[in-house]
Amino acid sequence: MKSHYMPRAGFCPNCRNLADAARPLKARKVPTAGDVAVCWYCGAVNQYGAGLTLERFDNWREACHPDQVQLITRMVGWILLERMMRGQ
């Protein structure tokens, strides 16, 4: 999978780090409003809003398909494990 530079980068609403790249899980090239975004820095689950700003997505477990919930849960767990391994 290839990462895509986001020219209109936003900030993670949880950790405030700049999210200037996105890696799609499907063939689509760039994110669109409504897509889920897991923050690489803190593991927060966000959602692209209008203008591709990142917004908190607190009810993602209820809003997403069970297959997506499983995938997102794995991604968050992997990111948090990486942070723990790096002592962060």
Distance CA 79, CA 50 (A): 26
Q: Of these, 39, 45, 52, 54, which contacts Zn ion (CB under 5 A)?
A: 39
> Which stretch in 20-28, 42-50, 63-71, 76-84 sits in contact with Zn ion by CB under 5 A?
42-50
- Please name which of 53, 57, 10 lies closest in space to residue 38, comparing C-alpha atoms: 57
- Binding of Zn ion by 12 (CB under 5 A): yes
Q: How many residues bind Zn ion (CB under 5 A)?
A: 7
Q: Of these, 4, 11, 14, 53, which contacts Zn ion (CB under 5 A)?
A: 14
Min dist. Cβ of residue 26 to Zn ion (A): 22
- Please name which of 58, 64, 30, 35 lies closest in space to residue 47, comparing C-alpha atoms: 35
